[in-house]
Amino acid sequence: MLLLILFLIIAILLAVFVFNPSAKTKGKRGEKRVIAHAEKHLDEKNYTILNNYTFKINEQLTTQIDHIVVSRFGVFVIETKNYQGWIFGNEHQKMWTQKLYQKSYQFQNPLHQNYRHIKTLQHLLSDVIEPEDLHSVVVFVGESTFKTVMPNNVLQGQAWINYVKSFHEEVMSSVKMKRICQTLEKQALVKSRKTDAEHVRNLKKYHAK
């Protein structure tokens, strides 16, 4: 009887985890899908993808970037959102809205969020790349539908691949690509649970002000 109860408890916990994952788990799943898109459709000769890089802005604040695609055609800074339901928003709104099961939830405009990422990379790469060669891209994965007209750099699923490939003009050599990757790897904080936890704490403090 005890074993049966234990089995039921484990089954319930697994069901909760699989069918109602945490925001962090959803985010990681979304990021894995974007990585899979890149590995399948972007050739390694022209594109290098860096994933989950955290940089220190100052002593109290860090910024975490989901993906950075370094290419001959520019550097693409990707913010991933794994959302379901209807998505409402425009370029200028501070908050966007997700409508799911007749309930509405607000979340930060991902373009504004990614703007901070772009500014961070502009600072770190100021002696390597021109600001106009840094491109912001927002990718929604999951079963979501845009209910308002979105900017061209806000995309669903693997459509972001076509957006990145629409940039044809070569703006840097393979040597410069390598230098950018080395600079970012050197400046990034060590990937660890401690780094992730510190980043979350910093965000909470920042938004509590």
Output the furthest CA–CA distance in the chain (Å, rounded): 68
- Kindly report the average pLDDT of the chain as a whole number: 87
115-129: per-residue pLDDT in tens?
Answer: 999 999 999 999 999
34-63: per-residue pLDDT in tens?
Answer: 999 999 999 999 999 999 999 998 877 899
Q: Is the pLDDT of residue 110 over 80?
A: yes
Q: Is the pLDDT of residue 21 over 80?
A: no
Beta-carbon contacts of 161 under 8 Å, excluding residues fewer than 6 positions away, are 37, 38, 41, 42
Q: How large is the average pLDDT for residues 75-84?
A: 97
Rounded distance, CA 23 to CA 205, Å? Answer: 19
DSSP 135: E
CB 161 within 8 A of CB 141: no
**pTM for the predicted model, two decimal places:** 0.83
pLDDT at position 202, please?
Answer: 64
Range of the domain at 73: 22-208
Q: How far out from the chain centre does Cα 49 lie?
A: 12
Answer yes or no: is 32 within a domain. yes
pLDDT at position 200, please?
Answer: 67
Answer yes or no: is 9 within a domain. no
Answer yes or no: is 17 within a domain. no
Rounded distance, CA 118 to CA 112, Å? Answer: 10
Answer yes or no: is 12 within a domain. no
Answer yes or no: is 172 within a domain. yes
Answer yes or no: is 181 within a domain. yes
Reduce the DSSP state of residue 109 to 3 states and report it.
Answer: coil
Answer yes or no: is 169 within a domain. yes
CB 37 within 8 A of CB 160: yes
Rounded distance, CA 114 to CA 104, Å? Answer: 23
Number of domains in the chain: 1
Answer yes or no: is 8 within a domain. no
